[in-house]
Chains A and B, each alone.
Chain A
């Protein structure tokens, strides 16, 4: 029987609790959002002691199901002021699951910088004053040296310590690469609690118990086979998410020059195809990489410099789109170095990329000048005012510099898909309880659904709603997005996923399981935000998307407000 681990940092105490009926059947995002809505006032100060930071593996974590290791992190967000869940791959979720823990609730705040180690024997509080101001790369190395290769490290960099709103939480992969629960400023919540790192050590634990191992084995095999048969899986393995650069550029919706154009003339130079070719000539680079055990997609990469030294792992599409095209930076190495810097400081590259572009529009940095952009971010080690402005994200930067075109919804920056072309994605940006978040439901053209037109002005609400429900369920299972999206083209696979969940939990789950789960999660999140003060006017895209035609298509965002208001009718 799994337990909830509650850690009180103020009193350096902890305890294990049985799972009450309120949390039955919930994991990942479902668990974190329920816990935050039950125990944190929507009116609470996100950086105050009444906020709680919740970590939860998904329902499938640590089992034979494929790609099951996403770790959900939840709290009230200092960036959006609403409920937040950000998730990351890595090793931590599966280790937490193996420790028999359904979720970790971190409360209060320590009087000085602290690390917490969770093992089979309980919880240890470790003073961490010596790690003050330390970057994620060094702290991971130090913890690894002190606690061995069997641990996973969940940590914050100086960004989280300085309470900036673009601060993310780093989670290590089995080979100690950095993954990031990046969005929504959850690193600042961790920093506000003086929690520098959580060390998860599952030594001495066996595998995760499941209700019906034989049924799970079959369902997992069927699901795996289906995912592998989707052509995109091979594409992601060969080229990673950078594969998307040419695709999105070709679709005319690659954010360019602070969302003023939909195509970047140097897109090929930052594309997956180009990266694969140029990296193949460099020692120690890896075109594919797994961030979690049991991954069948391998979408990540290891990007190296000319001497074979690792710059970053992995270099992802969103970073290429927002730090690259959106800032007119076309030097892959420079983008990789900025990515590493963000990882080290513990910052969300998407929020930083959009903030840099806004700063370029204001004239603070020349367009396309990666070196000046990097130098500005580097100042965050010292905490200069301008660097902290960028580290507080796109909205804060735009407000400070007097820029009118700020691509953010509910305070969170839009992703690297322009909503004027992908209008269903625009509905997700506008209406998701998370703020503008493509991982909540990205509505893309699909050969399996030839009738769907992403550029149509109407009919986008139901498409976004279905995707938001589906992704809320996927995030609750702990399933990686890239194991999930093939199901959108091959709906038959969903029954295998439901069979996996049924075999793990021992519950009889019907075909409506995913939809019911997703709706219940979204309903919980919407209620929280309503009490926090969000209204329909917060479910809107920034005005410039509705007024400025995007070249080359000439499209504006024209999905009617009524359709946005009706998108999530629960």
Chain B
């Protein structure tokens, strides 16, 4: 299995893009990304700003296991745009206890 960042670059078909997003996965989500290192997270480079929903498609994460996103300690919705330099956290669905 190739490192995940290479897989992403292949999908993008180019080496680097101007918009850089750092992504960290929580709960059991990291099992869907081979070679995931929680300390480093994943750096995604894209041509232009994308939404949180686009990010899930890009990372090939199963939608049924995605609960919500946050950036800078603020919950985000899937239709919101991600800005260059944002650090994104992706979580499983939530229930309190």
- List residues of A whose CB falls within 8 A of some B CB: 230-232, 234-236, 238-239, 241, 243-244, 246-247, 249-252, 262-263, 272-273, 299, 316-318, 415, 417, 421, 425, 438-439, 442, 444-447, 450, 453-455, 481-482, 485-486, 488-489, 551-553
> Total contacts A to B, CB within 8 angstroms?
106
**Chain A residues within an 8 Å CB radius of B89:** 246, 250
Q: Is the CB of A234 within 8 A of B73?
A: no
Asked if B28 and A235 make an inter-chain contact with CB atoms under 8 angstroms apart, the answer reads yes
Q: How far is the CA of A488 from the CA of B64 in the complex (A)?
A: 14
User: A203 → chain B, closest Cβ, in Å?
Assistant: 33
- Report Cα–Cα, A454/B64, bound state, in Å: 20
- Contacts of A453 on B, CB cut-off 8 Å? 77
How many whole Å from A202's CB to the nearest CB in chain B?
28
Known: A231-B64, A234-B28, A273-B26. A247 touches B74 (CB 8 A): no
Enumerate chain A residues within 8 angstroms of B96, measured Cβ to Cβ: 244, 317, 415, 417, 425, 438-439, 442, 444, 485
Question: Is chain B's interface secondary structure helix, strand, loop, or mixed overall?
Answer: loop
- Rounded to whole angstroms, the CA-CA distance of A553 and B72 in the bound complex is 9
Q: Which A residues lie within 8 Å of B66 (CB)?
A: 447
Within the assembled complex, what's the spacing in Å between the Cα atoms of A243 and B94?
Answer: 9
Q: A243-B27, A247-B26, A250-B26 are in contact. Are A489 and B93 (CB under 8 A)?
A: yes
A450: chain B residues within 8 A (beta carbon): 77-78
Q: List B contacts of A447 (CB < 8 A).
A: 63-64, 66-68, 93
Q: Which residues of A contact B73 (CB under 8 A)?
A: 249-252, 262-263, 551-553
Flag whether B1 is at the interface (Cβ < 8 A): no
A481 to B78, CA, bound (A): 27
Partner of A485 from the list B26, B72, B92, B95 (CB cut-off 8 Å) is B95
Q: Give chain A residues whose Cβ lies under 8 Å from the Cβ of B68.
A: 251, 445, 447
State in angstroms the CA–CA spacing of A375 and B70 once bound together: 37
B38 at the interface (CB under 8 A from A): yes
Contact B75 A232 (CB under 8 A): no
Show 13 residue pairs from A and B whose CB-CB distance is below 8 angstroms, ordered by the A residue. A231-B64, A235-B28, A243-B27, A244-B94, A247-B67, A250-B89, A251-B73, A252-B73, A446-B93, A455-B75, A482-B97, A485-B96, A488-B95
Across-interface contacts of A454 in B (CB, < 8 A)? 75
